[in-house]
Chain A
Amino acid sequence: MDNTRYIIIFTVGMTSVVALLLAGLFYATQSKAKENEAIFNKRAVLRAVETYLEKSVDDMDDGEVLSIFENQVQQKVLNMTGEEVGTADVEAAGHKGGKAENIDMAKEKKKDEAERLLPLFTFNYEGGSIQIISVRGSGLWDEIWGNIAIQLDPKVKGVVVGAAFDHKAETPGLGAEIKDNPSFRAMFKDKRLYNDEGDYVSVKVEKGGSKDKYHGVDVISGATVTSVGVGEMLYRGIKYYEPYFNKLTKASDGGVKG
């Protein structure tokens, strides 16, 4: 029984059965899994404008998330010079679906800076509209990412009105606080991206940073590397969108500078 021929037949037989079984199950669950993933991503985007919603994103059910996204959020994809990119071109770049929500930021991060695609979500509410951008950087152990809500303002140009972060493998209780601690996220509200001279400064994440009322937030104690990573991610990530934001502010009020 234990001859080579039997072993080969057994192996081939077993592998085929297993392969067929798993392939079948994969196709059966694929559509549901994709749907779940899309809702997960949409929740992440909405979390950045959580303070403008009636209840927290975690308390919403899937239907509510989808309906807000359907009715109040527009999405587009930009290139690095601030021009809109068509659906077909986004799909050609390897993001199936071609919409902003389909963009895999991890894939984009590996490209040259000049060739990256940027997802942009515009959230509309009674008081106006908010731009939600996606940023991605490095924490202590692995990648960190987030969605930042920015209100464009003719006087001070850009103001952060909300932020939500996530991470792959930061230390629980320390670096993971960027996601878990609501007070860290809350510090980003009302921070200005430009100084009084109109130069881009981003939001500084540093020790005692919140003393600077308009431009700084505090680091998380015990998680310096992750915090510095957040600061760096914001500085670089928000700058990518600058060409487009400049266009928007110019179009709306004839290029007034602060």
Chain B
Amino acid sequence: MAETTIQEPKVKEAAPLFGKAERKLLADPLNDNNPITVQVLGICSALAVTTLVYPSVVMSIAVVFVCAFANLFTSLLRNSIPKQIRMIVQLVIIATLVTVVELTLKAFNYTVYKQLSVFIGLIITNCIVMGRLEAFAMANKPWRSFLDGIGNGLGYGAILIVVALIREIFGKGTLFAGSPIELKLIGASNESASFFINTAAESGIGTWFSWYANNNLMVLPAAAMFIIGILIWIQRSWNTKLVDIS
């Protein structure tokens, strides 16, 4: 799964901090080389954690952190890592960072830690992180690797949050449930029902479409599969150079 076919750009000496190539490292994974919709990596956690937006945001931040720093450390060590055990070394670096994330969440946001439970640990096996280490960090300088890690983490996170937005609104009728700014958006509220809007619902803002019954399919992992599929379709019809003509 973790194979990528990325052409490494030639590194110039004394490159500027945010030159064209560096910006490309950040922007590429968001669209042309998105880890989820183009490379189809990291699907497993994308299906599982995207029922609610808030945990997805936390998950995205965790992946950005792990991906960026794993890339940085691997790149720093790239000339001293013995070739025979390079995979193991990469895994140790990833596992260490994931444990750091896990311990931090446990201490500072226990509810989200409980919600994400096993999926934080599973970042270790997230193909995106491993793929970037092998394909990029082992052959590039630390700063560029760090940027590449942030870019790929963001590319993953962007898709995660879009999928979670759709799933939470249609599956639960809420937005940001579990966070301090929880909203009830659509579906029946305590107020008497009118067709379009119930005024003065719990959150102070009305909820719309009182007749709407939560769509249970959206809560199941299968819905994420459909939504990611549709996102890939949309992306390809808009960004035609992704379409494989052969």
Contacts and interface: CB of A to CB of B under 8 A. Distances in A.
Partners in one complex: yes
Interface of A: 1-2, 6-7, 10-11, 14-15, 18, 21-22, 25-26, 29, 32-33, 36-37, 39-40, 171-174
Given A6-B82, A7-B84, A22 B99 contact: yes
A83 B92 CA distance: 50
A1 B15 CA distance: 30
Nearest to B80: A10
For chain A, what secondary structure do more than half of its interface residues adopt (helix, strand, loop), or is it mixed?
Answer: helix
Contacts, number: 57
30 contacts: A2-B84, A6-B82, A7-B85, A10-B82, A10-B85, A10-B89, A11-B85, A11-B88, A14-B92, A18-B92, A18-B96, A21-B96, A22-B96, A22-B99, A22-B100, A22-B103, A25-B99, A25-B100, A25-B103, A29-B103, A29-B104, A29-B106, A32-B108, A36-B106, A37-B110, A40-B111, A172-B219, A172-B220, A173-B214, A174-B216
A164 to B, nearest CB: 15
A36 B112 CA distance: 12
A10 B81 contact: yes
B100 to A, nearest CB: 6
Interface of B: 51, 80-85, 88-89, 92, 96, 99-100, 103-104, 106-108, 110-111, 114, 171, 214, 216, 219-220
- Count chain A CB atoms within 10 A of each CB in B83, B108, B110 and give the residue with the most: B110
A32 B108 CA distance: 8
B89 to A, nearest CB: 7
Contacts of B110: 33, 36-37, 39-40
A173 B220 contact: yes
B12 to A, nearest CB: 27
Contacts of A26: 103
Given A26-B103, A36-B110, 13 more contacts: A2-B82, A2-B84, A10-B80, A10-B85, A18-B96, A22-B96, A29-B103, A36-B107, A37-B110, A40-B111, A172-B220, A173-B214, A174-B216
Contact of B103 (A6, A7, A33): A33
Contacts of B107: 29, 32-33, 36
Contacts of B84: 2, 7
B92 A7 contact: no
A40 B111 CA distance: 8
B80 A2 contact: no
A223 to B, nearest CB: 11
Contacts of A6: 82
